[in-house]
Amino acid sequence: MWEQIRANRIKSVILVMAMGSILFAIGWLLGAAFMGNGIAGLVIALIIWLIMNLIAYFSGDSLLLSITKAKKIKHDDHPRLFNIVEEMKIASGLEYMPSIYIIDTPAMNAFAAGRDPKHASVAVTSGLLQRLNRDELQGVIAHEMAHIKNRDVLLMSLCSVLLGTIVILAWYASRIMIYGAIAGGGRSRRSSSGGGGQGQIIIFVVAIVLMIVAPLLAYLIYFAISRKREYLADASAAVYTRYPEGLASALEKLSKSTHKLETANKATASMFIINPLNRTKKKEAANLSSTHPPISERVRILRSMSGGASFLDYNSAYSAVHNGKNVVGAKSLSDVTPVSMRKAGVPIAMAGAIAAAGAKSTPKPTPEPTAKERARETSDMLWKHSKHRLVNCQCGTKLRIPPNYTHSNVKCPHCGTINTIPKS
Which residues are catalytic, by number?
144
- Give the angle subtended at the CA of 152 by the CAs of 148 and 153, to the nearest 5°: 70
Under DSSP, the state recorded for 332 is G
8 A C-beta contact, residue 52 and residue 161:
yes
> Alpha-carbon distance 125 to 132, whole Å?
11
User: What SS3 state is found at 421?
Assistant: coil
> Alpha-carbon distance 82 to 267, whole Å?
28
Among 390, 298, 310, smallest CA distance to 342 is for 310
8 A C-beta contact, residue 258 and residue 281:
yes
Residue 129 CA neighbour count, 13 Å, CB half: 28
Nearest 10 degrees: Cα torsion 269, 93, 335, 245: -50
Pairing of strands 71-72, 99-103: antiparallel
